[in-house]
Amino acid sequence: MKLFALISLSTLISATPVKRQVTASIDNLFKNHGKTFLGVATDEKYLTVQQNAAIAGQDFGAVTPENSMKWAAIEPSRGVFNFTGADYLVNWAVTNGKSIRGHNFVWGEYLPNWVLNITDAQTLIDVLQNHITQVLNRYQGLLYAFDVINEPLNQDGSLKSTHWTQVIGPDVFRIALEAARAADPSVKLYINDYTLDWNNTKVAGMVNLVNSLNPPGQPPLVDGIGSQAHLNAGEAPSVHGGLVALSEAGVDIAITELDIPGAEPSEYQTVVQACISVRPCVSLSVWGIRDPDSYRPTTNPLLFDESWQAKPAYNSIAGVLNSPSQPSSSSAGGSASGAGAGN
């Protein structure tokens, strides 16, 4: 059944125009620097609030489903798929001309008990392949990218032990990527993780993981690395070094879940500038619209306040994007470092 037959779009989209929230779309300005989009995480419960939909529509170029495409939301029991929330998000994005970053398939968290109960490798492989195929077939041709693998690494760069790696082993990553590629070859396939915000052993481990999945002479399985960038205050200046080191993997890079406690304008500006100046960094997404809807709400880490007003950080991004483009740098040009452990 085709997606567009499922929901009457006109009932979903508010008819009342909302006053423009800010003076400039940071998405449009970001694209002027040759980037793909500046996006935002959201979902049905936010987009049904008119002010959120207006901001997502006017100021951002892509959406990531914050929760609606996670495993427990999509397949709460085996073979029983619930696409209600994901359909809403995808319909909203298509109707409003936004790109979509799907999120996610192989993650150690947010798994229903029926998945955790599977201890037979072949059964879990069958379940994983079916899940990926069902989701990507439903949204065939509509997704820009998908975080096929989420948070696979420990801080020392070794592979994290999860239900997936315990039952299937490290081959789970190749199996998932191949299933995603087969189901929709038009989707860019990402590995997404946190604390890639400076040049560290986890960054080296990520480069090694991507290299192991993209062996020379074969079509690559991994198209991009997502750096979540849930920063601590003060970390923004190191982000550039992390992006340059990730560039060694030779795939796209996206900043996928940016938020910064306190939303200091200069820190947001520094992160946006880092993505502008590192050529493989193709896109940037922030993890929510309004501070009170952030997953760490007490830190006020986002670009809009509780009254949906653009914060100084928003305007500082617009300011840096309005200045002339800096020359791009790519990787340092050397061979990939061998510092990662355990892959």
Is 257 assigned a catalytic role? yes
Residue given tokens 């900043």 in the structure block: 255
328 is an interface residue for ligand NAG by CB under 6 A: no
CB 338 → ligand NAG: shortest distance, Å? 9
Q: Which residue is nearest to ligand NAG (CB)?
A: 85
CB 1 → ligand NAG: shortest distance, Å? 16
CB 129 → ligand NAG: shortest distance, Å? 20
Residue given tokens 């500082």 in the structure block: 316
| Rounded Cα–Cα distance for residues 160 and 154 (Å) | 5
241 is an interface residue for ligand NAG by CB under 6 A: yes
| Rounded Cα–Cα distance for residues 322 and 194 (Å) | 29
Positive or negative: CA dihedral 303, 187, 95, 282: positive
Q: Is the peptide bond before 28 cis (omega within 30 degrees of 0)?
A: no
Cβ nearer to ligand NAG, comparing 185 with 342: 342
What lies within 8 Å, CB to CB, of 286 at 6+ separation is 38, 39, 40, 41, 257, 258, 259, 302, 303
DSSP for 311-322 reads PHHHHHHHHHHH
277 is an interface residue for ligand NAG by CB under 6 A: no
245 is an interface residue for ligand NAG by CB under 6 A: yes
| Rounded Cα–Cα distance for residues 161 and 147 (Å) | 19
Three-state DSSP at 177 gives helix
Cβ nearer to ligand NAG, comparing 85 with 205: 85
Three-state DSSP at 6 gives coil
Cβ nearer to ligand NAG, comparing 73 with 177: 73
Residues 112-151 close enough to bind ligand NAG by CB under 6 A? 113-114, 117
The one catalytic residue in 151, 235, 257, 267 is 257
State which of residues 199, 211, 285, 316 lies at the interface with ligand NAG (CB under 6 A): 199
Cβ nearer to ligand NAG, comparing 326 with 330: 330
332 is an interface residue for ligand NAG by CB under 6 A: yes
Summarize as ranges the residues that interact with ligand NAG (CB under 6 A): 82, 84-85, 113-114, 117, 199, 241, 244-245, 332, 337, 339
Active site residues: 257
